[in-house]
Structure 1
Amino acid sequence: MPKSYDVIVIGAGPGGMTAALYASRSNLSVLMLDRGIYGGQMNNTAEIENYPGFNSILGPDLGQKMYDGATQFGAEYAYGNVTAIRVNGDLREVDTDEGNYVAKAVIIATGAEHRKLGIPGEEDYSGRGVSYCAVCDGAFFKDREVVVIGGGDSAIEEGTYLAQLASKVTIVHRRDSLRAQQILQKRAFANPKINFVWNADTKAILGDENKVTGVQYTDKETGETHVIPASGVFIYVGIMPLTEGFESVGILDEAGWIPTDETMATKVPGIFAIGDVRAKTLRQITTAVGDGGQAGQSVFDYIQSLQDADLKVNA
C-alpha cells in the first residue's frame, strides 16, 4: 500500500522547505519529495546577498539551514521523480519512480529552469560570471562591463536593471529588432550605458581559470567573428516551468505555469503551488519562502475543512 501523509510537498527548494516547516509545525505529517538534493538552485549559487538576516551566505549553507528548520518538527524527506498526480476523492495520489504515496493535500514546488544556449563556456562559468538572474547577481558586477543575451521582455528589463550597476551593458540579439514591449525598448534605447549588437549568433563564453572575460559571436550578415570584453554574461532566452507529469490534473495554463489564488490554491481542491512554478513575475528565494509560508497555513486550513465536513456528516 502507498505510504500515507497529510501533506506531500513536491520539491525541496526554499519554498518547499518553508511549506514543510509550516505544515509540520501545525502537527501535520509531511513528506518532501525531490529528484535531487534539497536546496534546489541554491546549491548552484556561490553567494547570496539579498536574503534577510545575512549580509552574505553561501547557497548550500542557506539550503542546509532551511532543511534543518524544515525537518525539526518531523517532516520527512525522500528522493523521487514525480511522474503523476491523481485525484481520488479527498485523497491525492502521487506516483514517483521510487514508489507511490497518498496524501490529503499536495504542494507543488518544482520550480522552473532557464533555457540554456548550449555553447562552450556556459556551464564552465556558471556562477563565475554566467548568470540567469540580474536581481540575484547584478551587484557582483558593479562598475564592470556585462553582456545580456536575448531580445525579449526579460532581457531588456534585466539589461535596464543592470545599467544601474554596471559601467556598460551590451545587449546581444540574434535578430535585427527586439521582441520586447515598446515601452521597455524605449527605456533601453534611451539609456546611454546600454549598447546593442544585432544579428549576432553567440558562439562561446570566454574566460580564464576563474572568471568570464568575454563573449564570442558571429555576425550573421558578414560571417565575421567578434569578441565583446565582459566580466559577466546574463542569459535570457526563455524560462520553462518544471511541470512535467502534472498535465492530466488540469492545473496548468497554456504555457505550462500553474496559476493560483492568494492562498496558493490551484483550481483543483487540495492541490497548491508555490515558488517559481507559479505564474508570477518575480522569482526569488524570498518570494518562494513567502509562498511556502502561506501554503503551509493553507493546507492546514484545507485539511481542517475536510475534518469539519466529516464531523457534520457523522453528527
Structure 2
Amino acid sequence: MSEIYDLIIIGGGPAGMAAAIYAGRSERKTLLLEKSGYGGRAKDTLEIRNYPGTLSDSGQGLMEKFHAHAENFPSVKFKHSTVTGIRKEDDLFIIETKRKGGLMARSVILALGTRPRELGIPGEKEFVGHGVAYCATCDAEFFKGKNIYVLGAGDQAVEEADYLTKFAEKVTIIVLHEKGHLDCNEISAERAYKNPKIDFVWSTTVQEVKGSDHVESLVLKNVVTNEVNEVPADGLFFFVGMVPQTDLVKDLVTCDRSGYIQVNGKMETSLPGMYAVGDCIQTFLRQIVTSAADGAVAATASERYVKEQEQLSEILGPDSGAVAFVFYNPYQSAEIECVSGLEKKLGGQWKVYRQDISRQDLLYRKLNLDRTVCAAFYKDGKLLEIKSAEEI
C-alpha cells in the first residue's frame, strides 16, 4: 500500500465519471473503482433526450462518452474491483478491495448509486432470474410473446412498461392507486393509455408470486375490497423505488433514515475528506445532469481539501512554535474588524493565521467548532486551547 492517490472515486456512474473528468483536468492522481460496468444504472436507459447538448442518445452511448472523456486524462486510472471496507488513519483513507488489496488516498468520493427496492413478497426472491426482474432493458428480450405484469406507477414503471411492449404480447401495470391515478409524468401516462398492449389493474397489489421452475401466476389483492385473485403470468417486473447502496459507509458518515448519505453544498459528508455524489445522496432530483454536477462539485471541493490539509501539515509541524488560527465569517463586517483587532493583540506572541470558514473550514470542522469569531492556539503542532474573541 505504498502508492498514495490524491483521490479515489468509488463508483463508475455518471457522478463518479464526472468527478474523474474534473480531477483529471486538475492533473490529480486519481483512481476510479467500479465493480461492474461503467455508467451505473444510466447505461440501462433506452433513450436520453434531456441531457444538455444531446438531442438523443442511448444511456449506453452517453456513458461511453463520459468514460472516454475521463480516460483521456493521463492522471486518471480505472480499475474493476469491489470495495469491501473503508477506514481513515490519521489523514489518509484506506480502501480495502477484493482484487486490488488495500489502497490509500488523501480524499474519497462515494458514487455508490442505488439498487432496486425489494418488497419481500413470497416468491419474489425465489424467482429472480426466472420471471421476476427489475430492469426492462436488461431482461425484456427474455419475454418475447409473453404475458407479463409490471408493479409500480411512477415514471420508471410506466416508461419501462411501454418499452416492454416491444417484446411482450401483453403488459399489465399493477397500480396501488384508484383508477386513473398514476404517479408518472403526463406524457408517459398518455402514451401508456394509448398503447393497445398495455392494460391496468387499479387499487391492487401483489400478494404472492407462484410457479415451479418459472413464474406461472400472481396472486393479486384489491386494497379496497380485499378481494384476492390469482392470474396467469409469465413474469413480473418490479419498479417500486430504489435503495441507496450505502451499507459500506453507514458507520462512517451520517445517513438519513432511508440510508441516503447527507451532504452539504460542497458534497462533503460528516467525515472530512470524504464526499458523496449522485443517487446515493439525499437530493431533490436524480438525473444524469444533476449527478454530473455533483461529481464536478465534489472533485473541486476535494482538491481544495487536500491542499488545505497539506498547508495545515506544513504550519503545524513539531517545531512550529506558537501558532493561532482565528476563525471568522467573511460575510459579517463586524467579524472582519474583530479579526483585525485580534491579529494586533496576538501578533507579538503568536503567529496568526486567518481562517475564512467559507473557504478554509477543514480545521474548523475537525475541531467541531460552531461559532465565530474564535481562535485555536497551538504549540509545536499540539492544540493548547480554544477561546472565543471575548475570552482573548
TM-score category of the 2 structures, normalised to the smaller one: 0.7 to 0.9
| Structure 1 counterpart SS, 2:60 | helix
Deviations 1:156-196 (A, max 9, x none): 63377743553279xxxxxxxxxxxxxxxxxxxxxxxx972
* Aligned AA (1:6): D
1:299 equivalent in alignment to 2:302: yes
More deviation in 281-290 or 46-55?
Answer: 46-55
Question: Which of 299, 303, 312 is the equivalent residue of 1:309?
Answer: 312
Structure whose CA Rg is larger: 2
* Aligned AA (1:105): S
1:1-315 equivalence runs, <5 A: 1-74=1-74, 75-98=76-99, 99-116=101-118, 121-123=131-133, 126-127=136-137, 128=140, 134=155, 138=159, 141=162, 147=173, 149=175, 157-158=183-184, 162-163=188-189, 165-167=191-193, 196-198=202-204, 200-201=206-207, 203=209, 217-220=218-221, 221-226=226-231, 235-313=238-316
1:15 to partner: Cα distance: 0.4
| Structure 1 counterpart SS, 2:293 | helix
Instruction: Evaluate the alpha carbon distance shift between residue 137 and residue 294 of structure 1 in structure 2; reply closer, same or farther with a 3 A threshold.
Output: farther
Deviations 1:209-247 (A, max 9, x none): xxxxxx97434455433479xxxx984434211113213
What percent of counterpart residues are identical?
A: 29
Instruction: Evaluate the alpha carbon distance shift between residue 199 and residue 57 of structure 1 in structure 2; reply closer, same or farther with a 3 A threshold.
Output: closer
Name stretches of at least 5 consecutive residues in structure 1 with no aligned partner. 170-193, 205-214
**In 2: Cα distance, 1:222 partner to 1:147 partner:** 18
Q: Using CA pairs below 8 Å that are at least 6 residues apart, which structure has the higher relative contact order?
A: 1
**In 1: Cα distance, 2:185 partner to 2:132 partner:** 19
Instruction: Evaluate the alpha carbon distance shift between residue 201 and residue 161 of structure 1 in structure 2; reply closer, same or farther with a 3 A threshold.
Output: farther
Instruction: Evaluate the alpha carbon distance shift between residue 259 and residue 160 of structure 1 in structure 2; reply closer, same or farther with a 3 A threshold.
Output: farther
**Is this contact kept in 2: 1:134–1:234, CA < 8 A?**
no
**Is this contact kept in 2: 1:150–1:235, CA < 8 A?**
no
**Is this contact kept in 2: 1:264–1:294, CA < 8 A?**
yes
| Structure 1 counterpart SS, 2:184 | helix
**Is this contact kept in 2: 1:48–1:136, CA < 8 A?**
no
**Is this contact kept in 1: 2:175–2:201, CA < 8 A?**
no
**In 1: Cα distance, 2:4 partner to 2:62 partner:** 30
**In 1: Cα distance, 2:290 partner to 2:151 partner:** 19
Instruction: Evaluate the alpha carbon distance shift between residue 149 and residue 274 of structure 1 in structure 2; reply closer, same or farther with a 3 A threshold.
Output: farther
**In 2: Cα distance, 1:164 partner to 1:295 partner:** 39
| Structure 2 counterpart SS, 1:276 | helix
| Structure 1 counterpart SS, 2:136 | coil
1:282 to partner: Cα distance: 2.1
1:150 to partner: Cα distance: 5.3
Name stretches of at least 5 consecutive residues in structure 2 with no aligned partner. 119-123, 141-147, 166-170, 211-215, 321-392
Instruction: Evaluate the alpha carbon distance shift between residue 141 and residue 37 of structure 1 in structure 2; reply closer, same or farther with a 3 A threshold.
Output: closer
More deviation in 8-17 or 108-117?
Answer: 108-117
| Structure 2 counterpart SS, 1:279 | coil
**Is this contact kept in 1: 2:136–2:160, CA < 8 A?**
no
RMSD value, Cα? 3.7
- TM-score between the two structures when normalised by the length of structure 1: 0.74
Aligned residue pairs total 277
| Structure 1 counterpart SS, 2:66 | helix
| Structure 1 counterpart SS, 2:8 | strand
For 1:211, the equivalent position in structure 2 comes to none
**Is this contact kept in 2: 1:131–1:137, CA < 8 A?**
no
**In 1: Cα distance, 2:273 partner to 2:73 partner:** 22
